[in-house]
C-alpha cells in the first residue's frame, strides 16, 4: 500500500506577526523582526503518523515555497519514504478549487492508495482542500478520523460524532482521509534526523511537471486579496484575587459572584446574586421558598 500525506509548512502564527504587501514567495503576513519560523500543523504530523502506521511506503506532498523544505526534512526524518514539493509563481494567488486541481494532478501522478491529511491542517486551515481533491479525483473522502486501520480490501476509519457516539466506516481504496490533530501523539523527530533528511533533499515539481500551466490554473481564480486586518485588541483580563480568609463566608461569596469579577458584559446586579445569611434552619426555609417561587419544586 502506498500512502500520500498532505502537509503544509506555515508561519508560526502565535509569534509576533506583521502585515505587509503580498510579494513573490511570501504572503501578506510575516514575522516581525525578520525571523521566519516555519512550523507544521499538529494535524499534519498526526496524518503522517497514521500513514506510517498503515504502511512503510508513505510519501509526503506539500505545496509551498522553498521555506517548506523544513517541513519536508521533518517528514523524511520521521520516516517518509519520499517528499514532493510543488511550487510555481502562479500558485501564490490560487483559491481553494484551483489549489485542489494542482494537488489532484500531483496525486494522480503519484497514484497512491490513500491520501491522508490532517483535519483542518492544510493550507488556510479551512479543511476543505482534501475534500475538494477527493471530489476532483472522484475518490471517497472521510473527514476527521480518529483511527485508521487496514482492512481488506481497503481501510476502516473511526470517527467521533456528536454526543460521544462513534462511527466506523469501511473505505474502499483509493480514498482521501483526514485525521484529527489529537488522534495520535506525533513522534519527536530529532534535529539530527531532520538534518540528515534535509541533506538527502526532496523532489521539487513545477506546474509543468504536472502537465499544468500557471495560466490554466490561475485563470479560474476569481478572488482577489483586498486587505488583511489585525484582530481587534482584546481587553486584558485581570485575574480576580481570591478573597482572604479573614472575611465571613457570605462576604467571600459576595466577592466572588458579585461585582468584583470584571468583564463578561454587565455584571450581575447585587440583587440577583445576594448571599443569604442566617441560621441554618432559616436559610433552608429561604432556599425552599426560592425553589418554590421559581417552580423548581
Partner 1 sequence: MGDVTRTVWWNVPAWLAMLLYVGTALGLAISALALARHARTILRARRLGPGPAVHAGPAVRRVLTEVLSHHRLFEDPGAGWAHALLFYGFLGLFIGTCLVFVHDRMVPFLVGPTYLVFSFLLEWAGLAFLVGVAWMLRRRLGPRVPRLEPSGVALAILGLLGAIGVTGFLLEAARIAATNPPFEVWSFVGWTFGRALRATGLGGPSLHRGLWGVHAALSWVFFGLIGATVLRHLVAAPVQIALRRLRAPGRLAPASPDTGSLVPARLTWAQLLDAATCVRCGRCTAVCPATAAGKPLDPRRVVQATLQAMREGRPLEALVSPDEAWSCTTCAACVRACPFEIEVLDKLVDLRRTLVETGGVDATAARALEATAERGNPFGGVPADRTAWAADLGVRVLRPGETTDVLYWVGCAGAFDPHGRRIARATARLLQAAGVEFAILGRAETCTGDPARRMGEEAAFLEAAGRVATTLGTVGFRRLVTHCAHCFNVFRNELAPDGGSPLPLPAVHHTQLLSELVRDGRLAPRAVSSESVTLHDPCYLARHNGETAAPRVVLATANGGPVEMPRSGERTFCCGAGGGGAWVEVRQGSRIAALRMAEARETGARVVATACPFCALMLGGETGPGDIAVRDVAELLWESQPAGAQTSGAAGSDRP
Residues at the contact surface with partner 1, assessed by CB under 8 A: 12, 14-16, 32-33, 35, 37, 39, 185-193, 195
Are 83 and 75 contacting, i.e. CB atoms less than 8 angstroms apart?
A: yes
Please name which of 86, 95, 93 lies closest in space to residue 68, comparing C-alpha atoms: 86
- Pick the closest to residue 145 from 112, 173, 182, 172 (CA basis): 182
Q: How far is the CB of 238 from partner 1 (least distance, A)?
A: 14
C-alpha cell at 289: 421558598
Instruction: List, as one string, the DSSP characters of 187-238.
Output: PP--HHHHHHHHHH--EEE-TGGGT--HHHHHTT---------PPPPPPPPP
Pick between residue 45 and residue 85 the one whose CB is nearest to partner 1. Answer: 45
CB 38, min distance to partner 1, A: 8
Q: Which is nearer to partner 1, 69 or 176 (CB)?
A: 69
Rounded to the nearest 10°, the torsion over CA 146, 148, 154, 160 is: -20
Least distance from partner 1 to the Cβ atom of residue 31, Å? 9
Give the shortest CB-15-to-partner 1 separation in angstroms.
5
CB closer to partner 1, 24 vs 34: 34
* Cβ distance to partner 1 smaller for residue 159 or 252: 252
Tell me whether residue 31 or residue 159 sits nearer to partner 1 (CB atom): 31
Q: Supply the minimum distance, in Å, between the C-beta of residue 88 and partner 1.
A: 27
Amino acid at each position: 500500500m502506498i500512502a500520500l500525506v498532505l502537509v503544509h509548512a506555515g508561519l508560526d502564527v502565535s509569534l509576533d506577526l506583521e502585515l505587509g504587501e503580498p510579494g513573490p514567495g511570501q504572503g501578506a503576513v510575516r514575522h516581525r523582526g525578520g525571523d521566519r519560523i516555519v512550523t507544521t500543523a499538529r494535524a499534519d504530523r498526526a496524518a503522517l503518523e497514521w500513514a506510517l502506521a498503515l504502511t512503510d511506503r508513505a510519501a509526503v506532498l506539500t505545496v509551498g515555497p522553498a521555506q517548506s523544505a523544513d517541513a519536508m526534512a521533518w517528514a523524511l526524518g520521521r520516516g517518509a519514504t519520499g517528499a514532493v514539493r510543488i511550487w510555481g509563481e502562479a500558485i501564490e494567488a490560487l483559491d481553494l478549487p484551483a489549489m485542489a486541481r494542482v494537488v489532484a494532478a500531483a496525486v494522480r501522478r503519484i497514484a497512491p492508495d490513500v491520501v491522508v491529511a490532517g483535519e483542518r491542517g492544510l493550507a488556510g486551515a479551512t479543511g476543505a482542500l482534501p475534500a475538494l481533491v477527493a471530489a476532483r479525483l472522484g475518490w471517497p473522502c472521510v473527514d476527521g478520523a480518529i483511527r485508521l486501520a487496514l482492512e481488506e480490501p481497503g481501510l476502516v476509519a473511526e470517527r467521533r460524532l456528536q454526543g460521544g457516539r462513534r462511527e466506523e466506516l469501511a473505505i474502499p481504496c483509493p480514498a482521501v482521509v483526514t485525521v484529527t490533530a489529537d488522534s495520535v501523539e506525533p513522534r519527536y523527530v530529532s534535529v539530527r534526523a531532520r538534518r540528515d533528511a534535509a541533506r538527502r533533499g526532496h523532489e521539487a515539481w513545477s506546474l509543468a511537471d504536472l502537465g499544468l500551466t500557471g495560466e490554466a490554473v490561475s485563470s479560474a481564480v476569481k478572488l482577489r486579496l483586498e486587505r488583511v486586518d489585525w484582530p481587534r485588541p482584546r481587553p486584558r483580563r485581570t485575574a480576580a484575587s481570591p478573597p482572604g480568609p479573614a472575611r465571613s463566608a457570605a462576604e467571600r461569596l459576595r466577592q466572588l459572584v458579585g461585582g468584583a469579577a470584571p468583564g463578561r458584559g454587565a455584571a450581575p446586579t447585587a440583587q440577583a446574586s445576594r448571599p443569604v445569611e442566617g441560621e441554618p434552619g432559616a436559610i433552608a426555609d429561604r432556599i425552599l421558598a426560592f425553589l418554590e417561587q421559581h417552580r423548581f419544586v
